[in-house]
Structure 1
Amino acid sequence: MQSQDVAPRPAPGSSADRSVDVEQAEAALVEHYPRLVRLAYLVLPPGLGRSRRVLTAHALAQRALPRGSASTPVIPAQNGGAGDGRDGDPGYAYIRLQVVRTALEAGLPLRLRARPKRAQLPPLLPQVWGLRLFPRSGGADELALDQRLATLSGPARAAYVLRGLERLPDGDVREVLTGSGVADAEVTAALREADQVPAAQYALLDSPEFDACLLQARPTDLMRRRRHTRAALAAAAALAVCGALVALPGGGWGPDGAAAPPYAQNPAAEAALDPGRLVKVSPAAWKTSARTDFSVWPARGPLIRDSALLRRALAVWARPGKAVHVSATPDTPFGGPAGPPQLLYAGEVDNARVVILYDGLRIARYAEPKDGTAGAALDFARVDGATGAEAGALVLGRADGNVRYLTAPWVTKAGERDLSKPGAGVMDLTLTDGITSPLASPATHTGTCTTWNVLQLTDASGTQLLSDLGELVPARLTAGRPAAPKEASGAAALRTWAPFACSLADARGQGVRTVNAWGYTRQQLPDASGAATWVCTRAETWRGDGSRVLAQFHTPGGLFGAAVAKAGDVPACGPRDPHVLAGVLWKSKGGDWYLLAAGDKATASVRATGGVTGSGQGNLLAVPTKQGAQAGLEGRLKDGRSISGLR
């Protein structure tokens, strides 16, 4: 809680007053414009809507310049020194005071017999035609703070923002509010009301959610705009005929004229939250479409006509409450849909009612208990560009270590396979309206990994393997050279994956789209005990970056391989650079230690550096060494390019 001590106000005309001219105020406005717009956006009433708040915030900041010179008490811009030139700047203090004052005026209700203040009316400038502008969506914490600030009075909201964003003590906050026309009694009440919002959330005020200068654009309602354009042309013709009458003395429009109501509704936002406008694809659409993605999935489930459930799901998507558990794969945007989304499923799964929606970029899964809405959950996953096997299944629900999937309409058969045992065969899963019977999920494995169950799907194009990695969309498994990977369901691919199935645990919760395993070479062991296998696995994410590469080593007779090198965001073992070099310290059965290294077949030579020295022609290297030795690896490809070992 902030201190309630109030500094004495300087007497009028004292040395504490300082004259501010237009040039000084303009310099402060230009230098700190983004911060002043953010301040206005946060203080403005959220009921204006995000798009109008943005335009109004810019208008208030741009109208804050004095007409000539002004006098303002020097209120520190930020106690403690921000280091950006605002401390003690009377120009900034003046502009900030005007922004707060007009933002508070904008929140006052219009009165029938009172002349409206300029800030209460929609801004004439800036104007954007045909687009809605709004800040980027933040996380659940930012949304919760915005909803909490909306419940405060205007002065209390301004007090909280001045404390958190401007770092002003309560004495200076009181001076700013009093200078903005707030009565002393209201100031005291506002400070007390602002204490109800935790100060621990001050840092959220600097997030992109509240940056009215970093904006996203969406079109307005195009059909409504077309109708308005035709109406405007007709109105212009009528004005041309009646222009002489308008110019007559005593004539003209009334005080409000043709201005829209100050709190006009947003048709596009309303349509996106209307369950009656949800897109429901025909069950046969996929049969004639050239596309094999989520856009041709039909709406399935017994509750697809339950308007109350669908309305709750859409409302929670747009405005999740504090009690809703929200999760998302990394870098998946939050925020409601831009238009009516597509309904994929609505029904009861285990002990929950589940709704799955698709907006062309994301899958949103809403789940609530059968006996109420307490404990509801909202999960997001990116699926942009998903097609074929990547759009083959979605997680419908998890319970007791098992997972159920909703499969694509083109899937004809589903099964469960242990990836670590390629010869064990497939256990068939029943498909009921595209829903699989439960199968054991590896996403909940803890401790030692001994099995890794995956989903096997069959359709007209062949058979694919998908692995649950703890997210809404299972990851597609492939095998082979990075430039031309194939489905991991073939016999050779299954043998490649088997020793390394448990390495998929490293990719859980990372937003992984596909994982490819490539057995890039085999190496005869120095003690003549057989040949070891070198495999690199590369996990690609839905966001494009964040790839994860593992170099793995498997000796004869061992059940599982070992990860010997790991790297992130590197091109190695991928389609852009299908080369890899890695090494491992290995102990023979006789107790001797060796540095073993291997590159892919395009490697011409390998050299060890550091604590171990040695080199060899070709893509393999075996050098005697000691336990615990530290070594680096350098290789040269057949085209002359050098390559470094993964670490």
Structure 2
Amino acid sequence: MSTSQRRRATGPERVALDHAEAVIVDQYTRLVRLAYLTLPSTLSRHRRVLVAHALVQRALPGLRARHALSRIPQPRAGAAWVTVRVLCAALAHEHRPRGWPDRLPPPRALRPVLPFVWGLRLFPRAGGTEEIVLAQLLAEVSAPARAAFVLGRLDGLPRPEVAQLLADADVSDPQEALDAACGIEETVGEAAGALLRSQEFDACSVQTRPTDLLRRRRRFRVLWCAAAGVAVVCAALASLGSVSRGEAPRPAAGPPAISADALLRTSPDAWADTSRVDFTAWPARGSRVDDRALLTRALGAWTDPPRGTRVGAAAATTTEPPTKATQLLYAAVVGREAVVLFQDGRRVVRYGEPLAASSPASLDFSRADDSDVTTAAALAVSRSDGKVRYLTAPWIAEARTRDLLSPNSPGRPLDVSGEGLTEPVGTPSAAGACDALPVLQLRSSRRIVEKHAFLVADLGGLSPVHLSYTPLPGTGAQARQPREATSRAALLSWAHGACRLSELRGNGVRAVNQWDFAEQRLPEDGGRAVWSCTRASTWRGPGSVLLQFRTSTQSATAPAQIVGRARATAACSRFGQHVVADARWTAGSGHRFLLAAGSREVTRISVTGDVDAEKRGRLLAVRAPKDARVTVRARLADGQALAEVGRFEGR
């Protein structure tokens, strides 16, 4: 009896194991691609390729897994179960202990696994612009969302099946992952499936290149020296030699992807004779632009950061090695470190090398594609003691600082060196009371057509954020366009929303526009109200909006009331020019009102729910009980219906 039971138990396991192996062999490319796209983008592309192959090759079920697999109906059990195994392993890389380096896998994955590559770096072949955009979109969402997007668009699985696979992979909220994947689909469109099948994401068709040939050779020699007992003497002599030259010894970086001699350099007057006024027009400036050793260390650290290097990247920004299109912008000693700035057409890169040997070097990456005269007007060179020093563009003729919370105060002149380096400037507080909000007011040179003044604000990135303003609708037929936020009306409007800027830190924001879309006279002679939509546009395109409401009885710098909020939306941009919002307001008499306002194309506003009302025009005010639940809709001049943007639930 015992023998018979053992045979019945082991039979299904062996069949399931064989079936799982067949699934892995048959669908190997699909599974590797799924793992590669699910793994966090903070891993290097080389590391992601190897980890993806390792996860798939380790997906064969073990003893406990085989018992579970034998209970799943065939023939679907093997494919689904292997997919879940790969997903579980890939998702585990998102959950490292606090402080665990991104370059290393989670602790339970540290044991040696195949494949193992020595002396080569593996990369999927580079795709085009659309593939790069998709990679940046995937980098912004969570690992479950990436997995849901791949399963839905690449494998063509229906939403319920994708949700079930995510649930089997221990994803806590599959629906949230599916919603995020839908957001990517809306941005990319129907081409998503074709893009996912491109060579950019094919971790099975890779190209190779050598990496650390010289460093491997050095390490081999050091090992022989250590075995012979000479390493201590050599280290002492090397230390004495570096000290005598005044240079602090630094960790060795890998060989740079390009040499310092191959860096592009723009002539000093190119910015005045080009129609492309952006980072490509910046000349190479600074006292150490000819320091080949410094530039080589910077490029080497960018290619393969030494251990201990602090690497920071803005949202949707890759940290890939430099290309042949890399341009040198600046190299000099600023404060207590040597700073080098590069740009490669898509990114701006800052390398910081502290003069003290005990401090690690740093690398910072930020988006720079499609920059212009305002978004390429300055770069943050150094930060210390709550202040930042900027390197201004060569077309900046004048720089001032001003406080957005003091709209009636003039700007203060800012000292700028001949190289374009500013004196230290205060930065908005990331936490604590918002009692001041310093920004830069820059004026471009008379030598370029765009001679104007504009505002930029520091949000913690390399590039300060461009601030603009769209005034209230006029009586003309054309809609108002965004303009520079330097007028009195713009400064007064920004004073009410300035303190919200701190919420945008770390989101890869490129520009923020404050649009006053409606003005309303309040009931019972309560003064007037202004409705605003503050849109933060990111470098990759999608943006977030805040719908705000302020009254004339508030102080000049009182924060406006937020009445709506939305993310990943085109609202309040040139592709979303219509908006309607509502707010609750209490008159001096104690009467409560529901107020609503729409943009210039709104011809009718209706309210349904606990309050039923309708009115022609762009404004509505009606008495409403406290906590009334309503739905506000508008009708446009062309007959289309318009719903509220970012409407708060429960209102």
TM bracket (short chain)? 0.5 to 0.7
Alpha-carbon distance between aligned partners in 2 of 1:580 and 1:359, rounded to the nearest angstrom: 38
Cα displacement (A) at 1:641: 1.1
Cα displacement (A) at 1:17: 12
Is 1:466 matched with 2:495? no
Is 1:297 matched with 2:297? no
Asked if structure 2 preserves the Cα contact closer than 8 Å seen for 1:149 and 1:157, the reply is no
Cα displacement (A) at 1:535: 1.3
Q: Give the SS at the match of 1:502.
A: helix
In structure 1, what residue type is equivalent to 2:511? T
Alpha-carbon distance between aligned partners in 1 of 2:385 and 2:504, rounded to the nearest angstrom: 22
Asked if structure 1 preserves the Cα contact closer than 8 Å seen for 2:265 and 2:328, the reply is yes
Alpha-carbon distance between aligned partners in 1 of 2:576 and 2:264, rounded to the nearest angstrom: 42
Alpha-carbon distance between aligned partners in 1 of 2:365 and 2:352, rounded to the nearest angstrom: 12
Q: After the TM superposition, which residues 307-318 of structure 1 pair with which residues of structure 2 at under 5 Å, given as runs? A: 307-318=292-303
Asked if structure 2 preserves the Cα contact closer than 8 Å seen for 1:582 and 1:633, the reply is yes
| Unaligned residue ranges in structure 1 (runs of 5+) | 1-13, 41-48, 62-72, 94-138, 159-202, 222-268
Structure 2 counterpart of 1:401, from 366, 386, 392 = 386
Asked if structure 1 preserves the Cα contact closer than 8 Å seen for 2:543 and 2:570, the reply is no
Asked if structure 1 preserves the Cα contact closer than 8 Å seen for 2:342 and 2:349, the reply is yes
In structure 1, what residue type is equivalent to 2:575? R
Offset from partner CA, 1:210-269 (integer Å, 9 cap, x none) = x99635999999xxxxxxxxxxxxxxxxxxxxxxxxxxxxxxxxxxxxxxxxxxxxxxx9
Alpha-carbon distance between aligned partners in 2 of 1:610 and 1:450, rounded to the nearest angstrom: 40
Cα displacement (A) at 1:155: 7.1
Structure 2 counterpart of 1:279, from 254, 264, 270 = 264
Aligned to 2:425: 439
**What is the TM-score normalised by the length of structure 2?**
0.63
* Cα distance change of structure 1 residues 619 and 361 upon mapping to structure 2, 3 Å threshold: same
In structure 1, what residue type is equivalent to 2:547? L
Asked if structure 2 preserves the Cα contact closer than 8 Å seen for 1:553 and 1:563, the reply is no
Q: After the TM superposition, which residues 309-388 of structure 1 pair with which residues of structure 2 at under 5 Å, given as runs? A: 309-339=294-324, 341-372=326-357, 374-388=359-373
- Percent identity between the aligned chains? 33
Offset from partner CA, 1:509-528 (integer Å, 9 cap, x none) = 21111111111111111121
Aligned to 1:591: 590
In structure 2, what residue type is equivalent to 1:214? D
Cα displacement (A) at 1:606: 1.3
Is 1:32 matched with 2:14? no
Asked if structure 2 preserves the Cα contact closer than 8 Å seen for 1:75 and 1:88, the reply is no
Asked if structure 2 preserves the Cα contact closer than 8 Å seen for 1:595 and 1:623, the reply is yes
Cα displacement (A) at 1:594: 1.2
In structure 2, what residue type is equivalent to 1:564? V
Cα displacement (A) at 1:148: 11
**What is the TM-score normalised by the length of structure 1?**
0.63
* Cα distance change of structure 1 residues 552 and 18 upon mapping to structure 2, 3 Å threshold: closer
Q: Give the SS at the match of 2:525.
A: coil
Q: After the TM superposition, which residues 53-72 of structure 1 pair with which residues of structure 2 at under 5 Å, given as runs? A: none
Alpha-carbon distance between aligned partners in 1 of 2:106 and 2:289, rounded to the nearest angstrom: 30
Q: Give the SS at the match of 1:360.
A: coil
Offset from partner CA, 1:19-77 (integer Å, 9 cap, x none) = 99x9997665223344479999xxxxxxxx959x89xx89x99xxxxxxxxxxx99769
Asked if structure 2 preserves the Cα contact closer than 8 Å seen for 1:549 and 1:572, the reply is no
- Matched length: 478
Cα displacement (A) at 1:631: 2.5
Alpha-carbon distance between aligned partners in 2 of 1:39 and 1:219, rounded to the nearest angstrom: 19
Q: Give the SS at the match of 1:601.
A: coil
Alpha-carbon distance between aligned partners in 2 of 1:397 and 1:74, rounded to the nearest angstrom: 52
Alpha-carbon distance between aligned partners in 1 of 2:103 and 2:30, rounded to the nearest angstrom: 23
Alpha-carbon distance between aligned partners in 2 of 1:323 and 1:453, rounded to the nearest angstrom: 33
Alpha-carbon distance between aligned partners in 1 of 2:314 and 2:369, rounded to the nearest angstrom: 13
Asked if structure 2 preserves the Cα contact closer than 8 Å seen for 1:323 and 1:374, the reply is no
Cα displacement (A) at 1:362: 0.6
Asked if structure 2 preserves the Cα contact closer than 8 Å seen for 1:521 and 1:599, the reply is yes
Cα displacement (A) at 1:593: 1.5
Further displaced range: 348-357 or 512-521: 348-357
Alpha-carbon distance between aligned partners in 1 of 2:499 and 2:462, rounded to the nearest angstrom: 20
Structure 1 counterpart of 2:496, from 499, 503, 509 = 499
* Cα distance change of structure 1 residues 150 and 598 upon mapping to structure 2, 3 Å threshold: closer
* Cα distance change of structure 1 residues 32 and 603 upon mapping to structure 2, 3 Å threshold: same
Q: After the TM superposition, which residues 94-493 of structure 1 pair with which residues of structure 2 at under 5 Å, given as runs? A: 144-145=103-104, 214-215=202-203, 272-339=257-324, 341-372=326-357, 374-432=359-417, 433-442=419-428, 444-460=429-445, 461-480=451-470, 484-493=481-490
Alpha-carbon distance between aligned partners in 1 of 2:389 and 2:625, rounded to the nearest angstrom: 50
* Cα distance change of structure 1 residues 628 and 25 upon mapping to structure 2, 3 Å threshold: closer
Q: Give the SS at the match of 1:372.
A: coil
